[in-house]
C-alpha cells in the first residue's frame, strides 16, 4: 500500500511542477494547432516529452512512473488517445530514427530547465518557433 501511495505522490508532485510550464506554453499557441496538423502535434509531443523526461530524470523517477506521467501529460493536455500514446512511446524509445526527435525533446527539457532555474517565462516562444519551422518532421 505505501509504495503505491508514494508513487502516486511522486507523479502528482511532478504534475504540479509541470502544470504551470505546460499550461503557459500551450496557452500562447493557437488552440487548434494540434488537432488538424499532425506534424505540429508530433513536435509538441516530443517537446513536452523532453520536459517530462528531464524532470523525471532529475527526480530519479522510475521508468514505470515516468510512463504514467507521460501518459497523464499527453492525454490531459493534448487529448492523446491510447493508440496514439502507444505509438509515441515506441517512437520515444526507438533509437533508429531519433535525431530530429531528440532535438525537440532537448529543446523542451531546456525550456523547462530555464523555467525552473532562472524563472524564464517565455517558454512558448521556443515551441512556437519549432511549430512554425517548415520541413521539420515532414
Helix (H, G, I), strand (E, B) or coil at 74: helix
What whole-number percentage of the chain has pLDDT above 70? 83
Going from the C-alpha of 61 to that of each of 79, 86, 130, the distances in angstroms are 24, 20, 28
79-133: per-residue pLDDT in tens?
888 888 887 777 766 554 567 788 888 889 999 999 888 888 777 677 877 777 7
Closest Cα partner for 53 from 97, 121, 9, 110? 110
Structural contact between residues 10 and 65, judged by C-beta atoms closer than 8 angstroms: yes
CA–CA dist 74, 82 (Å, integer): 10
> pTM value?
0.82
Amino acid at each position: 500500500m505505501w509504495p503505491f501511495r508514494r508513487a502516486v505522490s511522486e507523479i502528482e508532485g511532478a504534475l504540479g511542477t509541470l502544470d504551470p510550464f505546460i499550461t503557459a506554453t500551450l496557452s500562447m499557441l493557437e488552440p487548434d494547432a494540434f488537432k488538424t496538423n499532425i506534424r505540429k502535434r508530433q513536435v509538441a509531443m516530443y517537446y513536452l516529452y523532453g520536459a517530462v523526461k528531464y524532470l523525471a530524470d532529475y527526480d530519479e523517477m522510475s521508468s514505470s512512473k515516468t510512463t504514467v506521467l507521460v501518459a497523464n501529460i499527453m492525454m490531459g493536455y493534448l487529448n492523446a488517445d491510447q493508440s496514439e500514446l502507444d505509438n509515441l512511446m515506441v517512437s520515444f524509445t526507438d533509437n533508429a530514427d531519433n535525431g530530429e526527435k531528440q532535438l525537440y525533446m532537448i529543446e523542451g527539457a531546456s525550456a523547462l530547465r530555464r523555467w525552473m532555474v532562472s524563472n524564464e517565462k517565455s517558454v512558448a516562444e521556443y515551441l512556437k518557433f519549432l511549430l512554425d519551422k517548415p520541413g521539420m518532421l515532414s
